[in-house]
Amino acid sequence: MTEVPEHEKRCGYVAIVGAPNAGKSTLTNGLVGTKVSIVSPKVQTTRFRVLGILMTGPAQVILVDTPGIFQPKRRLDRAMVAAAWHGASDAEIICLMVDAHRGLDDDTRAIIDKLKGAKREAILVLNKVDMVKKERLLDLTARLHEEGIFTDVFMVSALKGDGLADLSKVLSDRVPLGPWMFPEDEVSDLPQRMLAAEITREKAFIQLHEELPYALTVETEKWEEREDGSARIDQVIYVQRDGQKAIVVGKGGHQIKTIGAAARTELEALLERRVHLFLHVKVREDWQEKRGHYNEMGLDFDA
């Protein structure tokens, strides 16, 4: 990368907010150019704030991938929604991501109303536009534009990468002048141990479909660097009941082996070396009520 004079550098936070499953993590990964946040078809896959670092020209754009904003019911839900709004309040720029196929749902309506109440403007990012007919898309755009808080509208397919270059250019132009906050070769603030745990959780979500919604979490217990350059990673998948443990393990251990193989393949690609991954499943009924677990994820236990 060409050396950028200090007086030309730009740097700022851009919060990506939206209803659950709008595609925020896919957008973050697409803009950064590598995986920094896990993705699955399940809503509320992202549980805590993840920073993705986009380097473009003289600008360092710090993307804040936030949990989906919805009407919370449990302690974990409340903590995730609080983390999302905290990420938005601290950012210079807000991107509201809307699933164009789903349209203006109740969760998105509530987010718009809260942004209005805070007198915050936002960039509207309409996602999954390839799945919507042009007439419906134009009607949705007009309805959202009438809200009066959007400075720009971008139509993208985060999954396919369509429209991301234009959005990246605008974000890099609009972050304020100032020194970079991270080394230019860094792509995320997420420690490797947590990213590894998140990747395993993603594979568990995908593999288990509707059988075990949100009752599990993953922690990296040990990370051993070996002399041959490989890494041994020991992780625990915590569930809330014995019956859930049986589902995760599967008949003859088939399910846990499948999850482990998928996670190991992705970890080896990300770390660019061999990984020996060992998964254990344990029952911890109250993991969603453990203050230490929230602290580790950077969530407010008392939200």
Distance (Å, whole) CA 217 – CA 287: 8
How far is Cα 13 from Cα 146, in angstroms, rounded to an integer? 26
Q: Higher model confidence: residue 303 or residue 43?
A: 303
Does 133 carry a binding-site annotation? no
Mean pLDDT over 48-71 rounds to 81
Q: In 118-232, which residue ranges form alpha helices assigned H by DSSP? A: 134-145, 164-174, 192-208
Strand, coil or helix: 244: helix
**Is 24 assigned a ligand-binding role in the annotation?**
yes
Where do the domains of the chain lie, and which CATH numbers do they carry?
4-172 (3.40.50.300), 190-295 (3.30.300.20)
How many H helices and E strands in the chain? Answer: 9, 9
CA-to-CA separations, 80 to 62, 140, 243, 296, in angstroms, rounded: 20, 28, 26, 13
- 10, 26, 234 from 37: Cα distances, Å: 24, 8, 21
User: Distance (Å, rounded) from C-alpha 215 to C-alpha 245?
Assistant: 10
Does residue 23 have a known ligand-binding role?
yes
Token pair, residue 9, equals 């550098």
Under 8 Å between Cβ of 157 and 27: no
261 is in an annotated binding site: no
* Token code pair at residue 79: 């903590």
Q: Is 191 annotated as a binding residue?
A: no
CB atoms within 10 A of CB 117: 8
What pLDDT does 294 receive? 62
106 assigned to a ligand binding site? no
Q: Quote the pTM value.
A: 0.72
21 is in an annotated binding site: yes
**pLDDT at residue 31, rounded to an integer:** 95
Closest-CA residue to 264 (of 255, 280, 275, 252): 275
258 is in an annotated binding site: no
**Per-residue pLDDT at 81 exceeds 70:** no
pLDDT of the residue at 108: 93
CB 123 within 8 A of CB 93: yes
* 230 is annotated as contributing to ligand binding: no
Backbone angles phi, psi at 274, to 5 degrees: -75, 140
25 is in an annotated binding site: yes
3-state secondary structure 5-64: CHHHCEEEEEEEEECCCCCHHHHHHHHHCCCCCCCCCCCCCCCCCEEEEEEECCEEEEEE
Q: And the tokens for 110?
A: 């509530």
129 annotated as belonging to a binding site for a ligand:
yes
Confidence of residue 303 (pLDDT cuts 50, 70, 90): low
Tell me if 20 is assigned to a ligand binding site: yes
> What single letter denotes the amino acid at residue 94?
I
**Residue 12 known to bind ligand:** no
Q: Report the distance separating Cα 106 and Cα 119, nearest Å.
A: 20
Query: Which residues, in sequence order, are bridge partners of residue 13?
Result: 62
H helix or E strand, kind and range, residue 277: strand 275-283
The closest of 89, 57, 74, 66 to 168, measured between CA atoms, is: 57
Spatial separation of the C-alpha atoms in residues 45 and 50, rounded to whole Å: 12
pLDDT over threshold 70, residue 83? no
> What are 123's two structure tokens?
């960039």
Give the number of other CB atoms < 10 A from CB of residue 254.
10
Confidence of residue 46 (pLDDT cuts 50, 70, 90): low
pLDDT value of position 291: 74
33 among the known binding-site residues? no
Is position 260 annotated in a ligand binding site? no
The pLDDT assigned to 138 comes to 94
Q: Regarding predicted confidence, which is higher, 193 or 152?
A: 152
